[in-house]
């Protein structure tokens, strides 16, 4: 089979599209012919050598995708031809992937392979943030860092679906317009005095801040109302400063960590959460932008575009 691989760490130039052996199935695994693969920053980090990898060179990145079962491997409940997606299966940047049955998410006839590969990781992240990390209630005001990113755009829509007023932070007027087109109520720019602007717009502060930047954690607390909450789920801008527990006590504010893998703990959880996400999309309660599509053979160009941060929406790879 063909796969997008790398044997040394570095720039996109280390990527090679080569022939490698087909996966050898273990008990409890399905062989899936991949139809669409989601590209994520974690794949860039793996290529650079600063994120965990499985196996030996040539390494294969990719964890998110969708395709068709071509060998059910005697696993009950699965048949050749079944359409499935997956959010956390390694070695996805290949024509064939061994998918553990507990990680296989059945796709309905309406959800395309491209949609599943575009939305599973980011959509399931946005879902748990708005429903588990913080239980969003109607009438609340939420602030979303990096609101024009993949998670930010979906988190905005889910929060609005649940009745919240949505505020966002981003780095440019162009990205602010993307967020506004996506339905966010108000956007502030990082380069401005956004704390002052936000507190003028929303005196007393917001109910919850979703912080994926890390280095902004203290700023997030500064615009959170007393008894409010900050959900910390990423470090795109670097490690946060330590949080003073006395501040939390004095203001009755809450700091919550967020990680998707704390919630995708079983086959049943994966399917339940994915089905809710797909239902929202199929009912047009939330929408996703058409992805930018590359052939898997052109993975170098896809990585270049992702790292440039000039892409809008999801990038997917098609074997």
User: Could you report the per-residue pLDDT of 35-63, keeping only the tens digit for each?
Assistant: 999 999 889 989 999 887 888 899 999 99
**Residue 105: other Cβ atoms inside 10 A:** 24
| CATH 3.40.50.300 correct for 2-120+263-318 | no
Claim: this prediction has a pTM higher than 0.85: yes
3-state secondary structure of 85: strand
pLDDT value at residue 276: 96
In tens, the pLDDT along 110-158 reads: 999 999 999 999 999 999 999 999 999 999 999 999 999 899 999 999 9
Given a contact cutoff of 8 angstroms between Cβ atoms, the answer to whether 129 and 210 are in contact is: yes
Beta bridge partners of 148: none
Listed residue (87, 107, 106) closest to 97, CA to CA? 87
Start-to-end C-alpha separation, the chain:
10
Return the structure tokens found at 49.
Answer: 């050598």
Cβ neighbours of residue 310 closer than 8 Å, sequence gap 6 or more: none
In tens, the pLDDT along 271-287 reads: 999 999 999 999 999 99
**Percent of the chain residues topping a pLDDT of 90:** 92
Q: What are the residue boundaries of the structural domains of the chain, listed by start?
A: 2-120+263-318, 138-257
Q: How far apart are CA 201 and CA 198, in angstroms?
A: 5
The class (CATH top level) of 138-257 is alpha beta
Burial of 55 (0-12, 13-18, 19+ CB in 10 A): exposed
Question: Is the pLDDT score of 246 beyond 80?
Answer: yes
3-state secondary structure of 174: helix
């Amino acid at each position: 089979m063909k796969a997008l691989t790398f044997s040394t760490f570095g720039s996109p130039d280390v990527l090679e599209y080569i022939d490698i052996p087909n996966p050898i199935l273990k008990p409890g695994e399905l062989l899936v012919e991949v139809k669409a693969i989601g590209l994520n920053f974690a794949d860039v980090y793996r290529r650079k050598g600063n994120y965990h990898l499985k196996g030996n060179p040539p390494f294969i990145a990719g964890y998110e995708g969708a395709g068709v079962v071509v060998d059910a491997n005697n696993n009950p409940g699965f048949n050749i031809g079944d359409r499935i997606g997956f959010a956390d299966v390694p070695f996805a940047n290949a024509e064939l992937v061994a998918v553990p049955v507990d990680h296989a998410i059945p796709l309905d006839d309406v959800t395309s392979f491209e949609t599943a590969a575009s939305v599973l990781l980011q959509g399931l992240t946005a879902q748990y943030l708005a429903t588990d990390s913080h239980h969003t209630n109607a009438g609340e005001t939420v602030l979303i860092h990096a609101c024009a990113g993949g998670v930010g755009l979906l988190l905005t829509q889910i929060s609005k679906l649940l009745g919240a007023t949505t505020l966002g932070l981003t780095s440019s007027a162009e990205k602010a317009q993307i967020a506004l087109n996506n339905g966010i109520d108000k956007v502030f720019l990082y380069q401005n005095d956004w704390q002052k602007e936000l507190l003028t717009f929303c005196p007393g502060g917001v109910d919850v801040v979703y912080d994926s930047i890390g280095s902004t954690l203290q700023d997030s607390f500064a615009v959170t109302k007393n008894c409010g909450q900050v959900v910390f789920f990423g470090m795109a801008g670097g490690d946060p400063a330590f949080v003073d527990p006395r501040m939390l006590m004095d203001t009755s504010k809450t700091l919550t960590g967020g990680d998707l893998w704390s919630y995708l703990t079983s086959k049943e959880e994966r399917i339940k959460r994915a089905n809710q996400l797909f239902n929202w999309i199929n009912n047009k309660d939330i929408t996703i932008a058409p992805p930018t599509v590359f052939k898997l053979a052109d993975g170098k160009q896809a990585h270049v575009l992702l790292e440039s941060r000039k892409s809008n929406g999801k990038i997917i790879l098609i074997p």
